[in-house]
Each structure stands twice: as C-alpha cells, then as structure tokens.
Structure 1
C-alpha cells in the first residue's frame, strides 16, 4: 500500500547566543506559510523594533524552557532567551497555538518557506511605520490593515500606502527630549537634542544630521547579529551620544540600569535587553561615545518613525550582505529608497 503521509520540511531555529534552539516540522502541503508584520505597540515594545515578523507554526520540537524567560500578556505568553534577550516565540494562553519570530531562521533556509502577506495593526504606528518601506515582497503586495485582516478584527479597515493618522511633524514644534521605554517600563530613559559641544567634531559630523542639526542619524540594520538578538529581520537604530541620554530618574547613561541585562555579543561589544520583558534596548562598544538605541522604544507624538528627531538614512541598509538572497530585505531596501525620495519631495514642496 502506498505511503500517503504528507512529506514535511524541518527547520532549525536559534537565538544569537545559541542557548535556545528548536526545530519545527511543517507539512509541505502547508507551504508557504502566511506571515505578517505586526506593528502593534505591544510587539514594538517587546522587540524594540518597528514590527514583529510572525508566522503560526506547529508546536516547536526540542524547546528547552530552562533557557527562556516568559512574560504574560492578556492573550499570550511570550518567550525570550534569558542570555541574549532574543524574542523567540509566543504561545496563546488557550490551546497549543504557537507563533514564531521568523528571524530565528537563516535567511537562505526560509526565503520560500514564509510568504509575507500583510501588515497588521498599522494604526498603532500613527505614521505608517515600516509598512511604508515594505509595500510588497517578491512582487506581491502586502495589505496594510488598521488592526487585523478582514473578517478577523473589529475594524477590518485597509489603509493606503503612506497613510498617516497625524500630519507630518512641523520643524518648529520640537521638544527638547523624547521618552523611551520597554513594554513593562522596567527600562525607561530620555534622549535629548544633539549638542555638538558635548561631542567630538568627528562624531558630530557622523552622527548629527547634516541637513537638520536638531536630529540624530538613524538607520535600518539587516545584519545577522541584530536579526537574532532582536528577533526581527530589520532592526532600526538611532545613533546617539552618551551625553545626550539620561535615565528616567535624571541620572546619566550607564550600560545597564533599571531592569536591563547585558550580553557580550562580540569582543568589545555589549547588547542590552530588559530582563523582565525582553525588549532590546541598546548596543554599545567599549570606549566609544555613541550608543545605538532601539528606535522601537521611542514614544513620539508623530509616530513610530520619530521623524521630528531622526534623519533616516534611506540609500542603503546596514550590512545587507548578511541577508543576501532574502526577498524581504531586498524589498525593504527598495521601499526605503522610494520613501526617502518622497520625503525629500515633501520637504521641497513645503519649504
């Protein structure tokens, strides 16, 4: 009698430090797996990124809970690596419904496994967030839902490309500091406007926007280390001088404060994350003045891109060579350039 069992594809996931590894076996008949980018405030605060890259999967195999820290939200339990902070998995509180951060798999292994179909909870971003940089992936348009896809949520409202809930921030309306915090608020701090007098001339020229000296330079990184540490394929960073960061209690910046834990990801480099909820916070190299701040933690009135504070570098992603062969990362590089050209035209029109 012929074997009618559906062949399976087995994938191996791991975090940055490799303390957490597991496999997932997916019937080939279920491939590719529909995958969405969730832009909700909860996911943003947990990852420290603009969005979470999530796909529903069968229960993971070989998962060692001893290497993980869990954090409960009203509808799910989230698991992150206790050592490096990588946001790995979510499990619904009821049943065995699992959701994986697709960044935990190697790009080349999964480019045809996960099919990106939609942006959800774009309404939480106020300015469209990363959905404006990823209008399509591998030639397929991604729907942009205010909350959840049609038939699954309260609004079912589809949003257009370059949607904004608020007008673009006015250049004259600039606060002198912006708050940043993780989901559980165990990590809370402020960024301040650039002051060249507090930095070396070389750093000021590299990290303060040459177009608007009241803004810091920001960039999206696609390197493997950031991907595995944050649990997201695309990680937005703001590059800020230490003297322009203060803790919520007014104390100056330190590598660890509040609920932060540190992980030495490479010689001379430290990544930090909240030990309670797992949010990626910052990256800093020994002896250097610049701190890479997770933009997903910033809390600006204008929206998640924090355009009144940050000058986004749109011509190139950081370390795109690490993501060679990734349709997702290639699409973001193209979408980011298109968005950057649009922003420049808008400035010319309003000036």
Structure 2
C-alpha cells in the first residue's frame, strides 16, 4: 500500500512538471485548478496513510523490546526452547522486514514532502507578466522576414553553387581539351622522335653493316695473307729442309760417301742419286787419279789398232809415233798427221785438271773407237758424277 501511494505521488509530480502552463491572457482554467486541488487532496490522504504507518511502526517498538527481553532471558534448564527460538527468529525477521519497509516508506514520504514543498514554492501564474499580443505578432513578422531572407539566401547560394558548378564544368572541359591537345601533340612528337630514331637506327645499322663488311673483308684478307704466310713458311721450312738435305747430299757426293742417309729426307729422289744410296759415288779427285790408267789403256788400244798383226813397231815407227804424239796436223776435225788419240787424251787431261769433267768427256768421245772403248769405264764414272751433280742442281732449283 505504501509503495502504491509513493508511485501515485511520483506520477502526480511528474504530471505537474511536464504539463505546459497556459499563456492565455484570460486567466487560469478553474476546472484544471479544481482537478489539481483534488489531486493534492489525494496526496494529503496518502500523507495521512503514511502517518498511520508510522504509528504502527511505533507500536511495534514495545514488541521489539519484549523480543529482546525474551532473548536476554536465561533459558530454563529442562524445557526445549528450540521451537520458541525459531518463532522468535521468525518474529525478528518479520520485525526487521517491517523496519526496513518503514524506513523506506519514511524516506519516500520525506521525498514526497520535499517535492510538495517545491511545488508549493513555485510562483503562481501572472497574466500581467506575459508580453502583449502585438509583440508576439511583431516577433512572428520578424521570424517570417528572417525565413524569407533565409529562403532568398538559400536560393542565391543555390544559384551561385550552380554557376560555380557550370564554371567548374567549363574549366574541366577546357582543361580536358587542353590535356587532349597536349597529349596529341606529345603523341605526334613521340612519333616524330620514333621515326627519327628509326632512321638513325637504320643508318647506324647500314653503317655498322658496312663497317662489319669492311672488317670481314680486311679480316679475310688478313687471314688469307696469314694462310699465305703460313704456306710460305711451310714451303720455306720444306725448302730449307730440302736445301739442308741437298747440302748433305752435295757434301756426301763430294766426299765420295754413300747417299742413303741424306736421301732418306727427300721424297722420290732421282735415279742418278738413288743408285749411290749404298754404293760410294765417284769423285773428281778419284777421276783424276784413275785418268792415267785409263789413258794408258786407251793408248795401248790405239797402238794395237795401228798394228793389227800384233808385231812390235820399229825404231823409226816408234819415233814417228812419239813425234805424232807431240805434233798433230788437222784439217778441221780430220787429223792429217800425228796421233789423234794422244792429242784428245791430252786435252781431256787438261780439261779434267781444270775441273771441267764434261769437256773432258767430250774429248774422250772424240777418240777412236778402240781408245774410247778402253776408257769406257772411266767415262761411265765421269758421266755418273755429272748426272749426280745435275740431279742435285735440279733438286736445288725445284
């Protein structure tokens, strides 16, 4: 009941605070004032109930004293006081609950009392303090003027915003056009630069190709010259080795030694030299030494041809023969008087002593057949020596 009264009181206070006051110049509505008085009367009834509740709480104070007296009373010895203690505890709990409820009710009553005092302390409505209607009309006119001005400002601001937007669009279009034009100009400039770069690149490629061609040609010429030099070097080395081998052959031929070791370094040696690979070749000194024996054989063969019967010549014949050997009369190539064989043999000796083996052979070839046949062995050795020398000259020239 106390809680319900507090809630009603709070609702009444809230309604009083939230209900707007009338600003009518005619005064306060009597019906509403009567209604407020009725509500205040109801609140007074709640206040009376709160007083009654306080009296009941005061009546409970002796009961609490009795409970405390019972608690302080010494327990009897024989009876069982536990049921009584339970009842006392229950009564104590109920008393504590009642005390708490009374305290809460007292607090709420005090709060309601303070709120009522605050309501009573509020000033009453004074119609004279309200401004006249003309002031309200003037205020409304000013408000309408301000609203109109605000509308004008809003319209002006909207117009300016639209103009600014159009100007921005125009500037953006102009900037876009300028940017497009600059991009086109940049693209054309890039194309021109690309074309110039392509032309320069083509020119550079052509120049590079020409230089590479010239370098290739020069390199080819150098390689050809190098190959030619290598061939010449190889030919020179081969010729040097050949000349060295020929020099060894010449030395061996002059010394009368076999030519086998020196011929091993020459491909396909001539037959005139190959015949002396193992045999010792004749030398000019050996030919000089053996010439006298061959000449004696030739004289003997010539004398035998003059005496076919084999008889010895007389003193006169011997003297004439010796005189014919000393003096010879010719008519061209024909011997008119004298020993033709002795004269040719003497000429052959002189040519041989002079080192002209070929001329010596020519004189021997002019001997009569018997004498020439007697010197055939010596002549063969001389011809073999001449053939070997000619082969050496051919090898040296080749």
Question: Would you tell me which structure has more helix in proportion to its own residues?
Answer: 2
Please say whether Structure 1 and Structure 2 have the same fold, judged by a TM-score greater than 0.5: no
Question: Would you tell me which structure has more strand in proportion to its own residues?
Answer: 1
Q: Tell me the TM-score normalized by structure 1.
A: 0.17
Q: Tell me the TM-score normalized by structure 2.
A: 0.15
